[in-house]
A and B are shown apart, each in its own frame.
Chain A
Amino acid sequence: MSASPIARQATQSIPVRRVMLSDASQLPNDYSTTPGGTLYSTTPGGTRVVYERNFLLQLRNSPLSRTPPSNLPNIPESLLKGSVDRPIISPPKENGAIKTVPVKKDANPDEEQFEMDM
């Protein structure tokens, strides 16, 4: 016996299961496993992993999230608005004076360090 058309149709949609995570340690260790434990390579139709907004925003300030990828290309200056807060290779030459724009280093506050309170 085959499944009714309605039942078959139902299995074709990608099931969405919401998995709430409060900490990155609840994540699986490998790429092929989704949080909650399904394998997306083997789940029929695949399971889409939905991350809540607040969970993703929490990750924004982690050390990994603040470190630029080592091969991140420079954005062409022509695509940037006039004066932005970053080093500019050829600053506007008004009055013939070339101003040097200091490299503004993002202060790395201590909050990145783990406390060793034992």
Chain B
Amino acid sequence: MAATMTDPVDSSCDFSKSPVFSSAAINKMENQESDGVPLQTPWTFWLDRCVHGSSADEFQANLKKIYTVRTAQGFWAVFNNIPAANEINVRASYHLMREVHKPLWEEPYNRYGGTWRIKCQKRDTTKVWREMLVAAIGEQFSDAIADGDEICGVTVSIREREDLVQIWNINADLSDKATVIPRVHRLLPDVDFPAIFYKRHDTHQAFEKGRR
């Protein structure tokens, strides 16, 4: 603001033209997303409001993409600036999915998988959610799953009584060989979970294809 001299370098830029602004804005966005510690893969934040027994289409209509992050700082920039898990409504869920996959059981990438379902007392939810996010983007589960399996997402769902945190994998047949549950206990030694168990997507009543 205090610049009184005309800068000979900048004089070629006409700031009244919108293309200059938009390319500057694009550069800024790119810098924000490329500076920082790169993650193994991009991850995408999603938000939804669950309607019990809804079809895959109905679920998708209630699903909102928040942001795809590529760096640790990019992850925190979203996490720090969206409402915390304890600030969202009952029946709402946050998901962080690998790449840009949707948190949908029937997606080709997810359909043979399932989730570890971790019930949490309300007082623990925020902490459990944060630790599971950090473990996922840090690939902390990579030595807790079988070869050929992959952790592809984490979800927190706010419920009336106990909340639910889920860890998604892509191959339900390999879940027996995983040591995800001991790993969760190791990451959160002070937390008592009311329940923690594995469930395949295709055993859900609402699972649309391959229903038994």
Q: Which residues of A contact B (CB under 8 A)?
A: 12-14, 16, 24, 27, 31, 40, 48-53, 55-57, 59-60, 62, 64-73, 75-76, 78-81, 84, 86
A66 to chain B, nearest CB (A): 6
Residue B88, interface by CB 8 Å: yes
What is the size category of the interface that chain B forms with chain A? 35 or more
Say how far A25's CB is from chain B's closest CB, in angstroms: 11
Instruction: Please judge, given known A-B contacts A75-B47, A81-B89, whether A14 and B64 are in contact too, CB under 8 Å.
Output: no
Q: Knowing A65-B73, A68-B77, A79-B49, say if A48 contacts B83 (CB, 8 Å).
A: no
Contacts A31-B38, A56-B134, A68-B81; A50 near B73 (Cβ below 8 A)? no
Residues of B within 8 A of A67 (CB): 32, 77
A-B contact sample (12 more), CB < 8 A, given A52-B138, A69-B74, A76-B64: A51-B140, A53-B134, A53-B138, A64-B36, A65-B72, A65-B80, A67-B77, A68-B78, A71-B29, A79-B49, A80-B88, A86-B83
Candidates A24, A51, A75; contact of B83 at CB < 8 Å: A75
CB nearest neighbor in B for A18? B143
- Find A56's partner among B64, B138, B142 (CB 8 Å cutoff): B138
Inter-chain contact B131/A53, CB cutoff 8 Å: yes
28 contacts between A and B (CB under 8 A): A13-B147, A14-B142, A16-B143, A24-B36, A24-B37, A49-B139, A52-B138, A53-B134, A56-B72, A56-B138, A57-B134, A60-B80, A66-B77, A66-B81, A67-B32, A69-B29, A69-B32, A69-B74, A69-B77, A69-B81, A70-B28, A73-B64, A73-B66, A75-B47, A75-B83, A81-B86, A81-B87, A81-B88
